[in-house]
Amino acid sequence: MTIEQSQNTILTSPKKGNLVCVGTGLQLAGQVGALSLSYIEHADVVFSLVPDGFCERWLKSLNIDVRSLQPYYAQKSEVKNRRDTYAEMVDAILDEVRLGKLVVCALYGHPGVFACVGHLSIKQARCEGFNASMLPGISAEACLWADLGIDPGNSGHQSFEATQLMLYNHVPDPTTHLLLWQIALAGEHTLTQFGTTTDKLQILVEHLNQWYPLSHEVIIYEAANLPFQSPVIERMTLSMLPDAKLTMISTLLIPPASKMSLNHEMLAKLGITDLDIG
């Protein structure tokens, strides 16, 4: 190896210090992958962002240095933009990576689904020359299909964050399942509030009424996060949504409102007749 090649190797080799973002799944201990569990056990420090004390204590039974990221959220008397909160969390995580440690960030559910802290931390770590990766976890969506007994492959599905659907020109397909995430924040765009209002939910209902009748049945879903709990599955008409009891983990599922129709032009191109369709 030449001196130039050696220098290039040094410049491109990752620095000491490694970040791994893992998902704990939705239910305590039972939905974490074996590789994620191993990283939690062998990490120099584990940062956690989980929904309850049960999960926090479980993590502490696996590693002696578990640090919750929950205190970075605003206190009740404080108005704080969540972008600032996430930036502070990333700084805390990267401070330990820069010390050359194996750092694990254990996030509720899937670490990359509605969990920007993992993505932001990995991006920053890689920008600074550190190894950083993400391991998948069981998400609320995976639990939803299982709990409701729905195969989304039968008619397809669309998935949007509720406020994003309201603010952008997305067009739902009423022949598929529609998932709206963070329905309890529908219409909230300031990143300073942790709830929506009846008026904003009514605006969402009026928006959805372009594709779905007010009498169409929708489902409020919340995955169980402890083994002895049952998921929340509340059925109601679309018109009733503004008065629904919502929490920060509520997801809105809107089943198909109309049947799929065949694309006869495509069938002709493929040489398929209607009788060939099962």
The residues carrying an active-site annotation are: 82, 86, 108
Q: At which residue do the structure tokens 């584990």 appear?
A: 46
Q: Which residue has the higher pLDDT, 186 or 188?
A: 186
Q: Model's pTM, two decimal places? A: 0.84
Using DSSP, state whether 150 is helix, strand or coil: coil
Judged against a pLDDT cut of 60, whether residue 236 lies above it is answered with yes
pLDDT band at 277 (very low <50, low <70, confident <90, very high): low
Phi, psi of 157 (to 5 degrees): -155, 155
Mean pLDDT of 55-69: 95
Given a contact cutoff of 8 angstroms between Cβ atoms, the answer to whether 142 and 27 are in contact is no
**HSE-up of 176 (CA within 13 Å, CB side)?**
12
Which residues 6+ apart lie within 8 Å of 213 measured at CB? 238, 257
- CA separation for the pair 133, 108 (Å, rounded): 16
Q: What is the band of 251 on the pLDDT scale with cuts at 50, 70, 90?
A: very high
Distances (CA, A) of 254 to 34, 145, 150, 195, 214: 34, 13, 12, 21, 12
H/E stretch holding 17 reads: strand 15-23
**Contact by Cβ (8 Å): 111, 134:** yes
Summarised one tens digit per residue, pLDDT across range 123-178 is 999 999 999 999 999 999 999 999 999 999 999 999 999 999 999 999 999 999 99
Span 172-201, average pLDDT: 88
